[in-house]
Amino acid sequence: GQQVMQIPQYQHVQEGEDFTTYCNSSTTLSNIQWYKQRPGGHPVFLIQLVKSGEVKKQKRLTFQFGEAKKNSSLHITATQTTDVGTYFCAGRGTNAGKSTFGDGTTLTVKP
């Protein structure tokens, strides 16, 4: 079945440094979504990418979808302590109703 892998598993940064997490799927995706989960909380939807090569920005966050629609990345510029949490990607295969989540990248930010 479809597998979604994320790296790195953990990332520790100093406040103000940049952060990137990468997501790779074993199969071509129809879309990819990104979620943020704060400690003790539930995943919260951030964004969805659909088109090959698509790039979307939300303030300091930049999301990219690969040309082959099998990989994606999330980049945060100048991290803040409010960015702490686990970032998950979730890929939906073609002809699939469900999305498959990666195991996430947990970001900690040292003030």
Partner 1 sequence: GAGVSQSPRYKVAKRGQDVALRCDPISGHVSLFWYQQALGQGPEFLTYFQNEAQLDKSGLPSDRFFAERPEGSVSTLKIQRTQQEDSAVYLCASKTGVASGYTFGSGTRLTVV
Chain residues in the site for partner 1 (CB under 8 A): 4, 6, 31, 33, 35, 41-45, 47-48, 50, 88, 90, 92, 97-104
Q: Shortest gap between Cβ of 102 and partner 1 (angstroms)?
A: 5
Q: Shortest gap between Cβ of 74 and partner 1 (angstroms)?
A: 14
In 3D, which of 46, 43, 97 has the Cα closest to residue 73?
Answer: 46
Q: Shortest gap between Cβ of 46 and partner 1 (angstroms)?
A: 8
Nearer to partner 1, 79 or 99 (CB): 99
Nearer to partner 1, 97 or 111 (CB): 97
Nearer to partner 1, 19 or 88 (CB): 88
Instruction: Note whether 75 and 19 are within 8 A (CB).
Output: yes
Q: How many CA atoms lie within 13 A of 87 on its CB side?
A: 28
Q: What is the sign of the dihedral through the CA atoms of 41, 61, 75 and 81? A: negative
Q: Which helix (H) or strand (E) holds 80?
A: none
